Structure 1
């Protein structure tokens, strides 16, 4: 509840922190739609990155929703060592880790449609049937067809 009041103050709407509809977590849940409308109106007036930086500086947990390419090049991501690479794969490591545990990747995820033929084969499809499905665009082969 204190964190919410601090947020309300930081976004220039301290009255939200004392509004009875939002006073406690259970009140905010019960009045979720009204709270969402209030916050959306305020957040629409700000750029995500500067607002997040301001909230972080105030000790509030915050972060913008980013596309993967933005997340991979974000200074915070790089500082934390959250970019993980192995062979052809590059991605963001899990942020969940034990103290002083460096993220690692034991194996790469499968490539796009890498196991499609294998899985279809396990369901009884023949190689010719699978190739026919790929040719028709019903099933994606190793190369995406658009």
Structure 2
């Protein structure tokens, strides 16, 4: 976009991990102890992502499978429940929005969940994208912008 000549050397652009990634954009749900400094960057990135996805979708002429659907992390046993309770406390201490739900409340949101679900965390601010569509759109948009791909193996 800035007029620079760009080349990518990759025998399979858009392959690799993009083909198996979950596509979660979950800055709040994926918070971990000791990563509060990283949290600021993650939240800023999450705020910018909708505009990035829209711009890329337009440049590539493709649907990226981007959704603002939130995250529901569920506890299947006592250890999961304890872990999610600790995560919920950390989220609250960090000023983040999340809601603790009972197993019944989780199943109300997702009826196909196992009957033994013991509880969960609902984070409405998280979103997701289809990583396979995203990778393909990045390659297409780059090609349309004049990026040269070198796909041959050395």
For the aligned pair, the TM-score class normalised by the smaller chain equals: under 0.3
Higher RCO, 1 vs 2 (CA within 8 Å, ≥6 residues apart): 2
Structure with the higher helix share, 1 or 2: 1
| Greater gyration radius | 1
